[in-house]
């Protein structure tokens, strides 16, 4: 069995919140290389999307392993020291806990982990988002694993034909439910269509029971009780064979659907699929970006990555995302570009409401 752990955090932006500094990423690589040398990790790859650093790790310790989580935490602490020296923006932004206490979950960084029995050939896709939030993967996961117009394999490939099970988390009430596609489709969509509250955590193949996908569902603001930056998400998806083909996994991103995030984590806008070279959101701190790195696992080694959205096939999605971005921007501070009052990560409402309290008059 091999465990794939992706643990990510924003430990400082360069410049502002737009990108990651090479020295911060190098610190991540040095720490993980040391862990590989001492046998804790089988392999690793450090990457980025915008101001977030993603530690992609393989090992044999299983999920929620204290040593692996401590390695990630310590790596983020070291990278924060580098960010502080360079006076990068928001150094240590996502490290909410004062000290590591056994598990990275609830401490600020986002994580997605899966333990698998590596197949004779194991293609995996690691998604890395910036300027968006947990729940952004609801729509694409639905399309990949439940929509035959996206994934013809659901109709014409026997190993996919019995459908997939979705583990959905209620991120506010800390509850979960498993719903099956296609049987529970209509029930499922009432939740998935409300991604600020309900997020798909895992997906399983119903005939084999094997895990197909896992995403991070950490909500920083719910952890800290106040705005502390967006919970830019990550996700791991297995492809081919009993799972959707690589092209079926990537197909949902040809339509730049609308996600929460963007400027001040308080706006709606399109999710733009980009290659690493374009993973630097600077137009109105966005629009929200998504990178996908593809790997072949070989006895736990990460063969890759391939930069999956580095394909002219996604040019039209990027063009459309810019067009949608312009339209949304034209709405300025009005909903639905601006998020509803209780969803905004920044607000002056309590201050303004207090100031104007006496000027409000009862209606006649
Ligand atoms: C969004 C994000 C940025 C900041 C914005 C203001 O997730 O990180 O859009 O919210 O640049 O940042 P501060 O308040 O730090 O000046
Ligand atoms: Mg930041
Ligand atoms: Mg970010």
pLDDT in tens, 23-62: 999 999 999 999 999 999 999 999 999 999 999 999 999 9
Residue 361, burial from CB neighbour count under 10 angstroms (0-12, 13-18, 19+)? exposed
15 lines ligand 1 (CB under 6 A): no
Query: What distance, in Å, lies between the first and last C-alpha atoms of the chain?
Result: 71
230 lines ligand 1 (CB under 6 A): yes
For the segment 144-189, what is each residue's pLDDT rounded down to a tens digit?
999 999 999 999 999 999 999 999 999 889 999 999 999 999 999 9
325 to each of 136, 345, 350, how far by Cα in Å?
Answer: 17, 20, 29
219 lines ligand 1 (CB under 6 A): no
Q: How is residue 110 written in tokens?
A: 């986002």
Share of the chain above pLDDT 90, in %: 91
The single-letter DSSP state of residue 301 is: E
Q: How is residue 166 written in tokens?
A: 């979705």
Domain ranges of the chain: 2-354
342 compared with 36, residue with greater pLDDT: 36
263 lines ligand 1 (CB under 6 A): yes
Instruction: Note the pLDDT of residue 342.
Output: 86
Question: What are the catalytic residues?
Answer: 10, 227, 230
Does pTM surpass 0.85? yes
Distance 364 CA to ligand 3 centre (A): 48
Distance 9 CA to ligand 2 centre (A): 9
Angle value at C-alpha 67, between 63 and 73, nearest 5 degrees: 95
Q: Atom 2, ligand 1: which residue's CA is nearest?
A: 264
Residues in Cβ contact with 58 at an 8 Å cutoff, skipping those fewer than 6 apart = 2, 3, 4, 5, 41, 42, 43, 44, 297, 300, 301, 302
Distance 130 CA to ligand 3 centre (A): 5
User: 164-170 and 198-205: which strand pairing?
Assistant: antiparallel
Residues in Cβ contact with 5 at an 8 Å cutoff, skipping those fewer than 6 apart = 55, 56, 57, 58, 59, 63, 68, 72, 111, 112, 113
**Are 327 and 310 a contacting pair, CB within 8 Å?**
no
Distance 186 CA to ligand 3 centre (A): 33
> Which residue has 């506010």 as its token pair?
172
231 lines ligand 1 (CB under 6 A): no
267 lines ligand 1 (CB under 6 A): no
Q: How far apart are CA 19 and CA 50, in angstroms?
A: 4
User: 2-9 and 52-59: which strand pairing?
Assistant: antiparallel
Q: Atom 13, ligand 1: which residue's CA is nearest?
A: 264
For the segment 100-126, what is each residue's pLDDT rounded down to a tens digit?
999 999 899 999 999 999 999 999 999
3 state SS of 191: helix
* Mutation pick for ligand 1 pocket among 130, 233, 260, 263 (CB with most ligand atoms within 8 Å): 263
Instruction: Choose among 32, 39, 127, 37: nearest CA to 70.
Output: 32
């Amino acid at each position: 069995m091999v465990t794939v752990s992706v643990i990510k955090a924003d430990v400082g932006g360069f410049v502002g919140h737009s990108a990651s500094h090479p020295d911060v990423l190098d610190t991540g690589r040095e720490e993980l290389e040391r862990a590989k040398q001492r046998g804790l990790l089988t392999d690793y790859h450090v990457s980025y999307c915008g101001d977030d650093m993603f530690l992609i790790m393989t090992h044999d310790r299983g999920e929620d392993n204290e040593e692996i989580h401590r390695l990630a935490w310590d790596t983020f602490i070291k990278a924060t020291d580098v960010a502080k020296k360079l006076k990068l923006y928001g150094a240590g932004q996502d490290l909410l806990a004062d000290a590591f206490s056994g598990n990275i979950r609830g401490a600020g960084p986002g994580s997605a982990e899966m333990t698998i029995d590596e197949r004779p050939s194991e293609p995996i896709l690691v998604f890395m988002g910036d300027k968006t939030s947990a729940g952004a993967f609801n729509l694409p996961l639905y399309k990949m694993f439940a929509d035959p117009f996206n994934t013809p394999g659901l109709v014409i490939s026997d190993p996919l034909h019995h459908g997939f099970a979705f583990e959905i988390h209620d991120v506010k009430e800390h509850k979960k439910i498993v719903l099956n596609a296609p049987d529970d489709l209509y029930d499922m969509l009432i939740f998935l269509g409300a991604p600020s509250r309900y997020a798909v955590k895992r997906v399983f193949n119903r005939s084999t029971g094997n895990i197909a996908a896992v995403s991070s569902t950490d909500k920083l603001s719910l952890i800290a009780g106040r705005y502390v930056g967006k919970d830019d998400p990550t996700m791991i998806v297995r492809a081919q064979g009993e799972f959707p083909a690589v092209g079926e996994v990537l197909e949902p991103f040809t339509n730049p659907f609308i996600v929460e995030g963007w400027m001040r984590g308080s706006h709606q806008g399109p999710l733009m699929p980009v290659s690493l070279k374009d993973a630097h959101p600077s137009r109105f701190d966005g629009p929200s970006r998504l990178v996908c790195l593809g790997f072949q696992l070989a006895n736990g080694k990460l063969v890759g990555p391939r930069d999956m959205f580095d394909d002219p096939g996604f040019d039209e999605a990027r063009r459309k995302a810019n067009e949608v971005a312009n339209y949304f921007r034209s709405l300025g501070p009005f909903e639905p570009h601006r998020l509803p009052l209780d969803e905004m990560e920044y607000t002056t409402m309590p201050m303004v409401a207090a100031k104007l309290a006496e000027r409000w008059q009862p209606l006649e």
